[in-house]
Amino acid sequence: MNEDINTIMEKFKDFTDGYRMIMLTLRGKEGGKVNNPDKVSRRKISANKEEFKKILEEFLKIKNSSPNIPLRIYSSVNARDINKGIREFKRRQLESDYYDEDSKYKFYLDIKNRFLSSIMVPASRAETKFLIDVDYDEGDNGWIIEQELLEAKVDILFTYKTKNGMHIVTEPFNPNLVSYKVNKDALLLLTY
């Protein structure tokens, strides 16, 4: 699927402001862990809509220049709280003082990924939106889950089609009210 940057920005306009993780990756089940000799996976943090668009444009160029590799671009459904992420990173950094020497050095040699990981823990969210991933190839019917959500009086914020089904973004609610798995801090599939 080749969508242009303006189409994606308009479609996901409510999910581009604030600190957000944007990720270009090849999914594991599509060969991402084994069949990725070019190491095309990238992760970056944007602070606002303008940075989001710039990173998205960069990732789209990489994706579109690799037509034989099924790359996807994702973004965090929830904006991140940078101060909470920094606090989590510092906690992990202090904890690394008690690692064995080799593990301690690995922590510092992989510092960027350690920080990105810290900002993506659920405790570093700046907001809370839930995401339900409905896969049609697994026999799921999107209308059934939407009906369950409506009956439970859940506020549906955004619904869109994905490669194999759909994503439904909602306000927080009691996940026990529905029969589907509810992701409390997931990634939006921007393009595939």
Model confidence band, residue 164 (pLDDT cutoffs 50, 70, 90): confident
Q: Please report the pLDDT score of residue 113 as a whole number.
A: 93
Residues with Cβ within 8 Å of residue 147, at least 6 apart in sequence: none
Please state, in angstroms and as integers, the Cα–Cα distance from residue 102 to each residue in 97, 99, 108, following that order: 11, 8, 10
Q: Please report the pLDDT score of residue 139 as a whole number.
A: 58
Cα within 13 Å of Cα(160), Cβ side: 14
Residues 182, 133: Cα–Cα separation, whole Å? 8
- Could you count the other beta carbons within 10 Å of the beta carbon of residue 122? 9
Q: Please report the pLDDT score of residue 1 as a whole number.
A: 47
3-state secondary structure of 171: coil
Tens digit of pLDDT for each residue in 85-120? 999 999 999 999 999 999 999 999 999 999 999 999
Give the helix/strand (H/E) hosting 21: strand 20-25
Domain-wise residue ranges, the chain: 5-76, 82-124, 130-185
Structure tokens at 129: 């939106």
Using alpha carbons, select from 76, 88, 89, 62 the residue that is nearest to residue 21: 76
Selected residue with higher pLDDT from 66 and 37: 66
- Average pLDDT value for residue range 46-68: 94
Q: Output the CA torsion 184→187→190→192 (10° steps).
A: -120
Tens digit of pLDDT for each residue in 66-76? 888 899 999 99
Q: What are phi and psi of 13, to 5 degrees?
A: -55, -30
